[in-house]
């Protein structure tokens, strides 16, 4: 799984669920994975990429109230046009979802609610999905 697996015209078409890890891999830079980041992919109602947003050094677990306020405002943006988000945490470490990842994503899932399409952890080795049911 790598962004190199994406079809050449991927950005002209709706993003399928199978393509999501590759798209996340494309937008979460290697340096952001080492520093830690939040990457939001804002998708239109028909799952076309509208806008990627990368925020370096973002850790909602350290400041959950500020994180929720920020993410709630991002959710309002999605609500305005019926879009959804794909959210990724860039970090170092094992390419598996950890208890820390679940804590990190808690304010994210609470804020974005039904506008959260999928969540991923992007490490230097791989991009892995986070089961949203396990984060609550």
The residue that leads in pLDDT, 90 or 103, is 90
- 13-22, 52-61, 70-79: least confident range: 70-79
Span 108-120, pLDDT tens digits: 788 788 889 999 9
* CATH number corresponding to 21-131: 3.40.140.10
Q: What contacts 87, CB < 8 A, 6 or more positions away?
A: 38, 39, 40, 41, 105, 108, 112, 116, 118, 119, 120
Span 2-20, pLDDT tens digits: 788 899 999 999 999 999 9
Q: What is the mean pLDDT of the chain?
A: 86
- pTM for the whole thing? 0.87
């Amino acid at each position: 799984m790598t962004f190199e697996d994406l079809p050449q015209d991927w950005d002209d078409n709706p993003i399928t669920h199978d393509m999501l890890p590759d798209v996340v891999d494309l937008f979460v830079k290697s340096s952001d994975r080492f520093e830690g980041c939040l990457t939001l992919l804002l998708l239109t109602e028909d799952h076309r990429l509208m806008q990627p947003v990368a925020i370096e050094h973002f850790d909602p677990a350290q400041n959950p109230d500020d994180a929720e306020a920020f993410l709630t405002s991002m959710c309002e943006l999605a609500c305005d046009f019926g879009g959804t988000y794909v959210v990724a945490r860039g970090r170092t470490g094992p390419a598996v979802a950890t208890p820390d990842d679940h804590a990190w994503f808690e304010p994210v899932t609470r804020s974005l609610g039904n506008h959260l399409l999928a969540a991923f952890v992007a490490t230097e080795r791989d991009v892995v999905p986070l089961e949203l049911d396990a984060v609550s």
